[in-house]
Amino acid sequence: MSNEMTAHERVMIARHPQRPGIRDYIDALFPHFFEMKGDRLCGEDEAILGGVALYHDQPVTVIGTKKGRTLQENLRANFGMPSPEGYRKAQRLMQQAEKFHRPILTLIDTSGAYPGMRAEEHGQGEAIARSLYEMSGLTVPVIAVITGEGNSGGALGLAVADRVLMLENAVYAILSPEGFASILYKDASRAGEAAEVMKMTAPELRTLGVIDGIIPEPEGGAHTDPARAMQAVDEAIDAQLTALMQLQGKALVEQRVQKFRRMSAFERAELTKQPAARQEK
């Protein structure tokens, strides 16, 4: 069925209110989990959750976005839209993972980084930039799983990984289709149309080489049979992690950097001659 689904239908499944969230994954995948809070600078952001877990007898650092299950949780987690404090907490936990030689798993489901006043005052741009910078140099294996929506720099800030996996109906894009439509078509109601051109579905992104694997979902989406969805996620992570654990830190960094280095699309134009006076001899 999945191949006949439109991008917009997948967006709807990715945003389904009953779609498993980070807490569900933690409960299903890890027999032990200890949450760690705070960025050690000034705050704690509940939109990003992190801690240490045991995964098939291997200690791992788990970091992900949290939308919350109840309205109260939604509000506290800002509906899964992280603030700079969240990215800085993630950086702290990643450095900790590096110290203890723990692989890192990130679980991503966010409509984007929070565009609020305080987030700007606290350097949302710098926080995301620093996350990209730090992740690109980690010497431990990093696996990112996009479980629902992965929008903009807010998602990428946790996704500079050795393997980026997507659930079959997850979406990953530069911006929400609504935001995209409102910028390019000046009409947010054309989101459905935008979703079709944005190449945001897992199969499209696999073809583009932006992601490394697709995790199958039960018919109708992960919420129809969460246990089966979790099992598929477990199998996918386990397989990738086993392979990555064979590599040395240096090789991992090299491979990760080269993977992102190759993400290009450009042409060479015919050169228009520059005025000679401005050219350096």
Residues that bind other proteins (CB under 8 A): 113-117, 119-126, 128-130, 132-133, 136-137, 152-153, 156-157, 159-160, 172-175, 180, 183-184, 197-200, 205, 208, 210, 256-257, 260-261, 263-272, 274, 278-281
Strand partners, 167: 215
Question: CB of residue 51 vs other proteins: minimum separation in angstroms?
Answer: 25
Question: CB of residue 35 vs other proteins: minimum separation in angstroms?
Answer: 26
Q: DSSP for 126-166?
A: HHHHHHHHHHTT-SS-EEEEEEEEEEHHHHHTT---SEEEE
Question: CB of residue 64 vs other proteins: minimum separation in angstroms?
Answer: 18
**Cβ closer to other proteins: 14 or 229?**
14
**Cβ atoms of residues 145 and 169 within 8 Å:** no
Q: Which of 130, 197, 206, 201 is nearest to 164 (CA)?
A: 206
Decide: helix, strand or coil at residue 13.
helix
Q: Which of 81, 97, 18, 71 is nearest to 46 (CA)?
A: 81
**Cβ closer to other proteins: 156 or 237?**
156
Question: CB of residue 69 vs other proteins: minimum separation in angstroms?
Answer: 23
Angstrom CA distances, 268 to 75, 258, 271, 272, stand at: 49, 22, 9, 12
Question: CB of residue 16 vs other proteins: minimum separation in angstroms?
Answer: 22
Element (H, E) at 9: helix 7-14
Question: CB of residue 168 vs other proteins: minimum separation in angstroms?
Answer: 17
**Cβ closer to other proteins: 73 or 193?**
193
**Cβ closer to other proteins: 61 or 124?**
124
Tokens describing residue 261? 């280095």
**Cβ closer to other proteins: 99 or 261?**
261
- Cα separation, 111 vs 128, in Å, equals 15
**Cβ closer to other proteins: 50 or 177?**
177
